[in-house]
C-alpha cells in the first residue's frame, strides 16, 4: 500500500516544479515509509511514497513502461490487485514481457493491452494514476468499493490529485476552504460519493475512472451494483458464499511481508481469522497472528447498552484458542486515549474532524502496535453492510424511516460513545444556515434514485434492497475511509475481504428472506463459516467496535471544553453556542457531551493547525 500524488499542467513546464511536487509527495510519507520517488515530464509530475508489500526490490515507483527508448506509460499506484498472477500469465501469452514480479507492472501492461476496459478485469483494492506521454492524457482509477481513497482538484490548465486531501492542499495554489455544503457534509453521517468537503476538491467515486485531457476532464463509471435474479436455493447459496470466501481469503494472504488478522471476537473478524488460519495451515505457513483492542478494566466493568451487549475480549480469546492463533491483546488506558499527541496524529491522518472520538484514537493506537509486528492485516470490515448485520437492518422503525436508517437509529452520537447529537454545541444560527435535516434529505433522495430494482421487487424485499444499497454505497464509505486513514497513518496495509466485488454483487442480489433465513442477522455468513467457528462465537449477537466506558474519559473531555471556553482566541468559538457551552462546562454539569465535545474540540484543532477557512 502506498501514497500517491501528482500534478497535470498543460500550460506549464513541470520539469521546473520539483520542489512543489516533493512537498506534495512528502505529505504521503506516512502511507509509504519505505521509499519515495518522483517522475517529471513537461506537463505531468507524479509522486509516490511506497509501503513495500509485494516484490520488495522490484516494485519501486513511479513505474514507467519504455519502448524504443521512450516512455509510453507511467503510473503512481496504491493498492493491491489480487488476481495479478492470472492477468500476468494472460498478458505474457499476448506477448508482454515483465522485468519485475509486482502487481504494479501488471496494471501498466493491462492498460496497454486492453485500454480503459482493463479496469473490468482487476480484482482488488486500488487507487492509481496512469499518464500517457504519447497522448498527454491522465487516467485516475479507483476500485469498485472505494477501499482506497483518491482525490482530485481541477485547475485552469489541468488537475492536482492525491491519496489524501493533504497532498493537494500542499500545492501553493490551493487554499483549504470549506463552505456551508462542505460543513454539512462533514457533520452529517451521509458520506456523499465524490464529495471531498474541501471547496473545489472531489473524490473519485468508487468504480469510476476520471480522464484528463487538454480540453478538460470526463468521468465514467466502470462498475456499479446491478439487480439480477437470484435462482440458487439456500444450500447452493451458502456453498457459493463459502467458496468465494475461501478464494478471497487465500488471495488476500499473498504478501512478501509479515501479515496478521484483526480479531474482535465478532462473527465477521472471527470468520476471516478462522479461514486465514485454515488457509495458512494448508499452505504450511504456520499459525495466523491475530490482534484485538481492549481497554483497561473494560471487560471486568463492562456495562451493556442498546448498541453493545457484550465485551469483545472473551470472544476473541475463544476464537484464538479454537484456531490456535498467535494472539495479542492491545490494552489501552484513558491517558493514551486523551494524549494530545495521539489525538493530533488522528486529526492529521483524517484531514477532517469528522471521526468517532476515542474510537478513532484507539483504532490508531491498535494499528500502531500491530505495525510493530506486521505490515499487512486482514479485517472483517464491511460484512455488516454486505450481509445485513446492523441492528437497524432489523428495526422496523429505522427500516421504514424516510431517511438513512443509521441516522434514524441515532448512530451519529452513539458511535462516539454517547447518546447526544454531534452538533449539540454548534451555534443555532449556523445550524439554521446549514439545514442539516434538509441536507440529509437531499442526499437520501439522490441515493434512492440510484437503486437498481427487479420487476418482482415489491414490499419488504424492495425496501431491503434499498437499505442494502444505501449501506454498500454510503455507510460503508464512512468506515472504509476511517480504517484506511488510521492504518496508513502508521504504514499498515489493511485488507478487507468482504469488499471483494464478486461477493458483494452476489449477496446484494440474494433475497432478504434468504439473508435472514434463521431469523437472525447475517444468517448466510454464519451458515457459511460455522464449521470453522466455536459455537459461542458463531452465535454471538452483533456488537460494534468498542468505545471506552471509563468515566474519566468524559471528565477529561469536559476539562478540555472548559479550557476552550476560556480561550477567547479559539478559532471554533464563533461557531459554538455560548449558552450551551457555558451550561455543559459549569460545575456539576452531567449532560452527555461526548459526541458534541469530540466534534467541537476536533474542529478547533483542525482550524488552528490547518488554517482552514469556513465560508459559512
Residue whose C-alpha cell is 469510476: 208
Residues contacting 540, CB < 8 A, separation 6+: 265, 266, 267, 310, 315
What is the DSSP-derived secondary structure letter of residue 69? Answer: T
Residue in 72, 79, 80, 77 with CA at minimum distance from that of residue 61: 77
The residue from 2, 30, 260, 499 that is catalytic is 2
What is the DSSP-derived secondary structure letter of residue 474? Answer: I
Q: Please tell me the distance from the alpha carbon of residue 585 to that of residue 613, in angstroms, as a whole number.
A: 27
What is the DSSP-derived secondary structure letter of residue 71? Answer: E
Residues contacting 463, CB < 8 A, separation 6+: 399, 400
Cα 62–Cα 490–Cα 481 angle in degrees, nearest 5: 80
Q: Is 121 exposed, middle or buried (0-12, 13-18, 19+ CB in 10 A)?
A: middle
- DSSP alpha helices (H): ranges in 411-489? 411-414, 428-434, 436-450, 459-470, 476-488
User: H-helix or E-strand containing 494?
Assistant: strand 493-495
Neighbouring C-beta atoms of residue 445, cutoff 10 Å = 11
Q: Please tell me the distance from the alpha carbon of residue 549 to that of residue 553, in angstroms, as a whole number.
A: 8
Output the CA torsion 76→78→84→90 (10° steps). Answer: -30
Residue in 174, 195, 167, 168 with CA at minimum distance from that of residue 183: 195
For the chain, how are helix, strand and coil distributed in percent, rounded to 5? 45, 20, 35
**If DSSP codes are grouped into helix, strand and coil, which group holds residue 290?**
strand
CB-CB contact of 312 with 546 (8 Å): yes
Alpha-carbon torsion (537, 538, 539, 544), positive or negative: positive
Q: Is 423 exposed, middle or buried (0-12, 13-18, 19+ CB in 10 A)?
A: buried
C-alpha distances in Å from residue 221, one per residue of 119, 190, 417, 453, 593: 10, 21, 37, 19, 42
- DSSP lists the bridge partners of residue 3 as 49
Q: Is 562 exposed, middle or buried (0-12, 13-18, 19+ CB in 10 A)?
A: middle
CB-CB contact of 181 with 196 (8 Å): no
* Residue 260 is a catalytic residue: no
CB-CB contact of 152 with 160 (8 Å): yes
Q: Does 62 sit behind a cis peptide bond, omega within 30 degrees of 0 on the bond before it?
A: yes
Catalytically active residues are 2
Amino acid at each position: 500500500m502506498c501514497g500517491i500524488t501528482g500534478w497535470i499542467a498543460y500550460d506549464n513546464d513541470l520539469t521546473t516544479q520539483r520542489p512543489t511536487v516533493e512537498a506534495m509527495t512528502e505529505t504521503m510519507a506516512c502511507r509509504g515509509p519505505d521509499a519515495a520517488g518522483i517522475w517529471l515530464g513537461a506537463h505531468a509530475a507524479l509522486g509516490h511514497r511506497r509501503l513495500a508489500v509485494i516484490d520488495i526490490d522490484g516494485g519501486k515507483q513511479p513505474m514507467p513502461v519504455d519502448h524504443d527508448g521512450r516512455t509510453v506509460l507511467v503510473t503512481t499506484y496504491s493498492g493491491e490487485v489480487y488476481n495479478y498472477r492470472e492477468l500476468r500469465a494472460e498478458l505474457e501469452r499476448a506477448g508482454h514481457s515483465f522485468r519485475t514480479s509486482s502487481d504494479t507492472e501488471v496494471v501498466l501492461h493491462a492498460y496497454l493491452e486492453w485500454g480503459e476496459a482493463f479496469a473490468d478485469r482487476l480484482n482488488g483494492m486500488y487507487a492509481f494514476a496512469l499518464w500517457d506521454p504519447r497522448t498527454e492524457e491522465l487516467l485516475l482509477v479507483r476500485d469498485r468499493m472505494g477501499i482506497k481513497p483518491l482525490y482530485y482538484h481541477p485547475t485552469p490548465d489541468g488537475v492536482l490529485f492525491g491519496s489524501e486531501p493533504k497532498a493537494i492542499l500542499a500545492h501553493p495554489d490551493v487554499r483549504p476552504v470549506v463552505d456551508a455544503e462542505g460543513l454539512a457534509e462533514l457533520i452529517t453521517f451521509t458520506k456523499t460519493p465524490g464529495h471531498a468537503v474541501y471547496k473545489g476538491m472531489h473524490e473519485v467515486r468508487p468504480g469510476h475512472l476520471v480522464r484528463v485531457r487538454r480540453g478538460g476532464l470526463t468521468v465514467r463509471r466502470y462498475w456499479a451494483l446491478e439487480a439480477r435474479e437470484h435462482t440458487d436455493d439456500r444450500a447452493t447459496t451458502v456453498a457459493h458464499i463459502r467458496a468465494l470466501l475461501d478464494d478471497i481469503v487465500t488471495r488476500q494472504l499473498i504478501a512478501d511481508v509479515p501479515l496478521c488478522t484483526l480479531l474482535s471476537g465478532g462473527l465477521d473478524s472471527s470468520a476471516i481469522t478462522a479461514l486465514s488460519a485454515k488457509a495458512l495451515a494448508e499452505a504450511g505457513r504456520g499459525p495466523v497472528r491475530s490482534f484485538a483492542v481492549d481497554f483497561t478494566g473494560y471487560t471486568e466493568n463492562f456495562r451493556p447498552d442498546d448498541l453493545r451487549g457484550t465485551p469483545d475480549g472473551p470472544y476473541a480469546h475463544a476464537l484464538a484458542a479454537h484456531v490456535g492463533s498467535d494472539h495479542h491483546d492491545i490494552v489501552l488506558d484513558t491517558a493514551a486515549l486523551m494524549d494530545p499527541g495521539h489525538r493530533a496524529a488522528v486529526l492529521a491522518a483524517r484531514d477532517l474532524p469528522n471521526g468517532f472520538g476515542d474510537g478513532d484514537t484507539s483504532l490508531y493506537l491498535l494499528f500502531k502496535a500491530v505495525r510493530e509486528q506486521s505490515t499487512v492485516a486482514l479485517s472483517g470490515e464491511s460484512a455488516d453492510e454486505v450481509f445485513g448485520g446492523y441492528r437497524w437492518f432489523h428495526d422496523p422503525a429505522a427500516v421504514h424511516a424516510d431517511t438513512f436508517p443509521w441516522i434514524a437509529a441515532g448512530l451519529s452520537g452513539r458511535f462516539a460513545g454517547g447518546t447526544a447529537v454531534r452538533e449539540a454545541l454548534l451555534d443555532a444560527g449556523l445550524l439554521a444556515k446549514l439545514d442539516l435535516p434538509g441536507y440529509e434529505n437531499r442526499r437520501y433522495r439522490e441515493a434512492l434514485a440510484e437503486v437498481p430494482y427487479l420487476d418482482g421487487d415489491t414490499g419488504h424485499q424492495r425496501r431491503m434492497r434499498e437499505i442494502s444499497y444505501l449501506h454498500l454505497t454510503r455507510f460503508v464509505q464512512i468506515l472504509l475511509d476511517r480504517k484506511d486513514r488510521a492504518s496508513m497513518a502508521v504504514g499498515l496495509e489493511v485488507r478487507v475481504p468482504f469488499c471483494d466485488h464478486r461477493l458483494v454483487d452476489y449477496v446484494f442480489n440474494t433475497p432478504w428472506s434468504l439473508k435472514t433465513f434463521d431469523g437472525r442477522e447475517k444468517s448466510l455468513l454464519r451458515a457459511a463459516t460455522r464449521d470453522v467457528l466455536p459455537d459461542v462465537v458463531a452465535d454471538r449477537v452483533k456488537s460494534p467496535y468498542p468505545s471506552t466506558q471509563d468515566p474519566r474519559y468524559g471528565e477529561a473531555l469536559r476539562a478540555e471544553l472548559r479550557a476552550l471556553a476560556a480561550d477567547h482566541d479559539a478559532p471554533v468559538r464563533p461557531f459554538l453556542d455560548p449558552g450551551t457551552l457555558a451550561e455543559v462546562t459549569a460545575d456539576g454539569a452531567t449532560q452527555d457531551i461526548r459526541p458534541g465535545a469530540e466534534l467541537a474540540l476536533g474542529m478547533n484543532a483542525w482550524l488552528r493547525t490547518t488554517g482552514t477557512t469556513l465560508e459559512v
